[in-house]
Structure 1
Amino acid sequence: MKVLIIGLGSIALKHIKALQELYPTVVIYALRREGEPLKEIEGVVEIFAIDEIAVDTLSFILISNPTAVHYDTIKKVMAYKKPLFIEKPLFSALSKEADRLVTEVEKQGVQTYVACNLRFLECIGKIKELIEGKRINEVNVYCGSYLPNWRPNVNFRKVYSANKEMGGGVHIDLIHELDYVYWLFGTPTHTRSFFSNRSSLDITAYDYANYLWEYVDFQVSVVLNYYRRDSKRTLEILTDEGTYLVDLLENNIWYNDEIIFESGQRMLQTYTTQMHFFIEEILSKQIKFNTIVEGYKVLQLCLQE
C-alpha cells in the first residue's frame, strides 16, 4: 500500500501512526512546501512535488493541510481520480465555488471520505444502537474545554483556532459534535444558531456557539465553548422511558443514573479504528460513508448563521 499525505501537522501524525500500526509495510509520501524544514519521520518519504512519485500506484490521498487550502488541494488532486481521505472540516467557508467543486468531485466518481473519528468512539456507536426505535423528546449536546490548554507552550492567541481571520473558531474546531448529531438523527427540519466571542480569552474567533436543530418530534441543543477549565463532553438523550447520558471523555453511558456501558477505548484510538474502516470497508468494499456531499452538508449546518 502506498499513500500520499498532503500536510504534515499534528493531525497527519495521528493518521501516520494509525497507518503504520495497521499496515507495517505501508509506504507513506508526505507532500511538503518548498522551503519547509524536513521533519524526518520514520517511514515517511518527504517530497516537494507530486510528480516525484508514480501517482497511479497510490492507494489513496490523505488531505490534512490547513482547512483554508482544502479547496485548492481537492481541485488539484481530483484529476488523479484517486480516493480522497479529507480531514475535517471540509472547507473553511461556504461558496458557489465550493458547491461546484463538491458536485464535480461526485460527477467524476472520485471516492471520498471526510474524517469523523467521533463516529468510531464506542459510546457513540453504542448509543446509536440503544436509541433505535425509541421515542425521543429532547437532546442536549455539550462540549467545553480550555483553549490555552490545547497546545502547551504555545501562545494560544496566535494559533488558527483563536483567529477569525485565519478561519478559526469553536464551531469549526468542534464540528465533530454536529457531525455525530447528524449521523444519529439525520438532517434537521429547521435550524438556528448563535455565535459570540465575549469571554475573557479575548480572541477574534468565536469562543462560544449555540445551535438549535429542530426535528419532527424533538429538538437538539448543541453548546460549544473554548473557555471551560474543567473539560466536559456529553450527550444527553431524553426518551419516553428515561434519560441516557453519554460521557465522551470517559467513554461510558448512563441510563436513569445507572451506568449501562463502559469502554476502555481512548479518544486517540478512534483514529486507528477510523483508518481501518476507511481501508477495509470504504476502499475495499466501495462503501459510501460520510462522502464529500455529506461532509459539505454538515459544514453548511455548522456555518449558517
Structure 2
Amino acid sequence: MSDLSPVSAPLDGRRVVVRGSGSIGQRHARVLAMLGADVATWPVRPRAGASDSSGPAVHILDDASGPAALAAADLVVVATDTARHVRDTIEALDAGTGRILVEKPLAPTAAAAQPLASHPRARDVWVAAPLRAHAGFRHLLTLVDVVGRPASAHVRCQSWLPDWRPERDYRASYSARADEGGVLRDLVHELDYAEVLFGRPSTLAAHLDHAGPLDIEAEQAATLLWQTATATVTCRLDYITRPPTRGITIHGPEGSLEWDLPTATVTHLDATGRATTRSFPADLDRDTIMATQARAALEVTPGAAPAQRHTAGAPATLAEGLATLGLCDHARAIS
C-alpha cells in the first residue's frame, strides 16, 4: 500500500463505518484508516480477514454493535451487494449518520433507487465516482473548452473480464449476473465522467451484446451514441477486449485532447498539431485515488457548487448518480 500521509490535515477524530467487508469494503477501510480516521467495518456476513493487519487497526462490528456505530459516524461507506445499496443507505440515514458514500452502481435500476431519492436526507448522499478524483481528469476538465465547439468524443473502457480477479471464476461474480452486473452497471463511471464533461444527453442510441466469448447472463458489451448541447459522444464498454484500453479522445475545431488512463497522461494537440503531454503518475495508485475521494466526501458537501466539487475530486451527488443510472436503464430499454 502507498504512503497516504496527507499534505492537508489528517482525518483524526472522524468516525467512519464501512458497511460490507468484501475487497472494495476492505480497501475503503484501509485507506480511511491510513488517513487517520477512526474506522470500523460492519460485515454483512461474518468473515475471516475482514480487517487487514498490514494497515492501521480497524474495528469489527456485528449486528449488535453496528446500529449504534451508524448513529455516531461522520461518514458511512456502503460497499455491500448492489441489491442492498438502497436499503443499507436508508438504514444509515435513519440512524443519524452524517454522510453516506455509496459504491457503484447506486442500485440495479433507477426505479429501485426511488425510495432513497425521496428520502428527506437524500441531500447527504454521495455516489462513488473515483474517476473524478484522478488528477488527470481534473486537468482534462480545465482544458475541455480549449478544443472548441462543437466537439466529438469517444469514451472507451474495454478489458477482459476473466483477468479482473484471476483467482476467482468470473462467472460467479456479480459482474456476470443479469440483475446486478453487465458492462452498463459495472462501467458506469465512464458515463458519469462524460456527463461531467459534456452535460446530459438529449438523444441516445444503444446496442448491447449478450452473445460473445464469455458464458454470462449479463451484457458483455455496449456501444452507445448520444448528443448533448456541446458534443456528440460515442462510448464503447466491454468485457471482451485484450489488451485493455481505457480513456477518452475529444476532437474539436481548435484541436484535440486524449486522456489515457493506463498511462495516466493527458495529451493536448493544438490546431497546428503541436502536442503537450502531462503525466499524473499518482493516478496509477488506486489507494491514492480512493483517498482523494474519501477526503472530499468528508470535507465537501454534496450541495456545494460543481466547480468546488470537481476541484476537490468529490464523488457524484445522488441526483447525478440517479441520472446516470437512468441513462443505463434507457440504453437497456432501447437496445
TM-score, normalised via structure 1 length? 0.90
Q: 1:213 to 1:57 in 2, by over 3 A?
A: same
- How many residue pairs align between the two structures? 299
Aligned match for 2:249, one of 236, 246, 252: 236
Aligned match for 1:75, one of 84, 90, 94: 90
Residues 247 and 258 in structure 2, CA contact (< 8 A), matched pair in contact too: yes
Moved more, 46-55 or 135-144: 46-55
Write the distance in 2 (CA, Å) between the matches of 1:153 and 1:55. 33
1:100-139 residue CA offsets vs partner (Å, 9 max, x unmatched)? 43122xx336511111010111221111101236323211
Query: SS where residue 281 of structure 2 aligns?
Result: coil
- 2:291 maps to 272
- 1:263 maps to 280
The list of structure 1 runs, each at least 4 consecutive aligned residues, that deviate by more than 3 angstroms after superposition, is: 33-38, 50-56, 285-289
Aligned-residue RMSD, C-alpha: 2.3
Amino acid aligned to 1:28: V
Moved more, 83-92 or 185-194: 185-194
1:157-197 residue CA offsets vs partner (Å, 9 max, x unmatched)? 111111214x1111111111001001111111122222112
Write the distance in 2 (CA, Å) between the matches of 1:192 and 1:103. 29
1:237-288 residue CA offsets vs partner (Å, 9 max, x unmatched)? 01111221211111112233634211112150211111122222238x8977
Structure 1 residues 78-97: aligned runs within 5 Å = 78-82=93-97, 83-95=99-111
- 1:155 maps to 169
Q: 1:267 to 1:185 in 2, by over 3 A?
A: farther
Structure 1 residues 41-190: aligned runs within 5 Å = 41-42=52-53, 43-49=57-63, 51-52=65-66, 53-82=68-97, 83-95=99-111, 98-104=113-119, 107-108=120-121, 110-132=123-145, 134-165=148-179, 167-190=180-203
Residues 136 and 237 in structure 1, CA contact (< 8 A), matched pair in contact too: no
TM-score, normalised via structure 2 length? 0.82
> 1:77: Cα distance to partner?
2.1
Write the distance in 2 (CA, Å) between the matches of 1:74 and 1:149. 31
Q: Percent identity?
A: 26
1:176-224 residue CA offsets vs partner (Å, 9 max, x unmatched)? 1001001111111122222112211122111101111211343101100
Q: 1:301 to 1:263 in 2, by over 3 A?
A: same
Query: SS where residue 71 of structure 1 aligns?
Result: helix
Write the distance in 1 (CA, Å) between the matches of 2:45 and 2:134. 37
Amino acid aligned to 2:41: A
Write the distance in 1 (CA, Å) between the matches of 2:298 and 2:268. 35
Residues 15 and 271 in structure 1, CA contact (< 8 A), matched pair in contact too: yes
- 1:30 maps to 41
